[in-house]
Amino acid sequence: MANSYIVICYNIIKKQRMLSSCLMGKIMHKRILTVGILFLLMLSINIPISPGNDITIPFDGGDILYVGGSGSNNYTKIQDAINDSSNLDTVFVYDDSSPYYENLIINKSISLIGENKETTVIDGSGNKIIILIRLCDNVKIQGFTIKNSSRSKINWDYARGIGIQLLAATFCIISDMIITNTDVGIYLLNYIWDEFTHTNTLSQNIFIKNTYGVALDWGSGYTTIVNNVFRLNWYGIIIITTNYNTIMKNNFLWNFRSVLLRPDVIWPDGDPLDEINHNKWSMNYWGRPQYLHLILGRARVVYDHASWYVRYIEVDWNPVKEPYDIGVQNE
């Protein structure tokens, strides 16, 4: 009886092992098949490489159009490549043909990538706007020096020289740039009444020797300004009638004034102080160690044909005591 029991148990274990081996074989077969399919898909993706240049290029899924460089089919002008591009394409700009004396218009969801932010230069030649992004979303720009827009008086007005302007542009990312010698480095503004410029990100940029580094104007809320350097500008940032922006982990170094708050409020549509003072400031470096940093603002309240000013304060409650190591600091 005991021997029969042992034989039965042995047969059960043997069948279980055979079943497990069969299942493992099927699983391995599926894994091999899956890997093979993925490999074929990778081979089927065409990522062109311009001959004579060994450079890693960010890839968002579309085609790559080259400007400059040694490729036989490369473009000589950035705007021509932008015009021929489609949504999700990347326009990659080599620095060997720099500087590029152009004024660009972008109205589609593309990436504009420079080879090196210190050597790939777009020179505005004193014209009003160097790069205009309008009525589109998900534009990425990185890796350029933008310089030499038109210049005017220090007093604020709306017809000024601009490095990069966003009009009714959303979910855009501008990063790893040097912007210099402009009236406004990056200017964000709504285009028409129901088209807003919102939810954009400015990061890892150097704003140096501009009148204003960044201007957030009406309708440009929910902007994130993080890990930038504002250095030797008249004003680092000006905020005009916009809310719910996040400004954090930036360096403000040797500007005449780091931040200018100048909103306009139409009253009695709402409480003036409810229309402003909704920006988040956190962990910025303000030129010297501080326990907190007060940002003084003056809002213009308009009622009928009269206007007056209301003073208010925004606060960085936890400024850092040393500057961040971000990009070019000592040029």
pLDDT score recorded for residue 45 = 40
In-domain check, residue 42 = no
Quick one: DSSP state of residue 9?
H
In-domain check, residue 51 = no
Cis peptide before 99 (omega within 30 of 0): yes
pLDDT score recorded for residue 61 = 75
Residues of the chain with pLDDT under 70: 1-60, 152-159, 191-193, 266-277, 327-331
What range does the domain containing 285 cover? 101-316
**DSSP letters along 15-57, please?**
HHHHHHHHHHHHHHHHHHHHHHHHHHHHHH------TT-----
Total number of domains in the chain:
1
pLDDT score recorded for residue 273 = 63
In-domain check, residue 113 = yes
Sign of the torsion angle spanned by Cα atoms 307, 311, 317, 318: positive
* pTM: predicted TM-score of the whole model, two decimal places: 0.81
pLDDT score recorded for residue 169 = 95
pLDDT of 9-51, one tens digit each?
344 334 444 434 443 444 344 444 444 444 444 433 444 444 4
pLDDT score recorded for residue 328 = 59
CA–CA separation, 200 vs 225, rounded Å? 9
Here the tokens at position 27 are: 């699983």
In-domain check, residue 79 = no
In-domain check, residue 92 = no
In-domain check, residue 321 = no
In-domain check, residue 217 = yes
pLDDT score recorded for residue 242 = 84
pLDDT score recorded for residue 27 = 38
CA–CA separation, 64 vs 58, rounded Å? 9
In-domain check, residue 238 = yes
Sheet with 251-253, edge to edge strand ranges: 121-123, 145-147, 178-180, 206-208, 229-231, 251-253
